Amino acid sequence: MSTIAPDYEKTDMGNIQIAPEVIEVIAGLASVEVEGVAGMSGGFASGVAELLGRKNLSKGVKVEVGQKEAAIDVSIIVMYGHRIPTVASDIQRNVKQAIESMTGLDVVEVNVHIHGVHFKNPEARPVEEEAPVIRLK
């Protein structure tokens, strides 16, 4: 398998090619749809792109695309309180279904890498007024 999509399908009118970046975006969107996913975990380059104001829809996704098959690696951050094996299994199912239905490629594997756990910020409690401190000499 290679990361460059070869001729996917030849028709009477020409060739149809699907760029690996397209598959990355599909896999990224299918991953964040799953309940329990706090976000994608990308590298330094995707972090810089987000700082520059660009939304990186393929953040945390790597693909290998062959003639008729694809293998996907997804790196995510799980929300605290969700069962990690269930979240990972749901991602595998959702990514496989999305790519196969949209591209016609056979997804041979979806590897899910958990890079962290996201904790919700505790509810801000109202600050109680402190009693004045009286100092004795």
| Residue 130 lies inside a defined structural domain of this protein | no
Which residue in 83, 81, 98 sits closest to 32, CA to CA?
Answer: 98
Query: In terms of residue numbers, what domain contains 73?
Result: 15-118
| Residue 81 lies inside a defined structural domain of this protein | yes
- E strand residue ranges, 4-58: 9-11, 14-16, 37-40
Q: Would you write out the chain's pLDDT as a tens digit for each of its 137 residues? A: 444 444 456 678 888 888 999 999 999 999 999 999 998 987 644 444 444 444 677 889 999 998 889 999 999 999 999 999 999 999 999 999 999 999 999 999 999 999 999 988 755 444 444 444 444 55
pTM of this structure = 0.74
| Residue 24 lies inside a defined structural domain of this protein | yes
d(CA 126, CA 120): 18
- The first and second tokens of residue 111, run together, are 């590897």
Q: What is the CATH number of the domain that holds 71?
A: 3.30.70.1350
| Residue 134 lies inside a defined structural domain of this protein | no
d(CA 8, CA 68): 7
Domain count along the chain? 1
| Residue 136 lies inside a defined structural domain of this protein | no
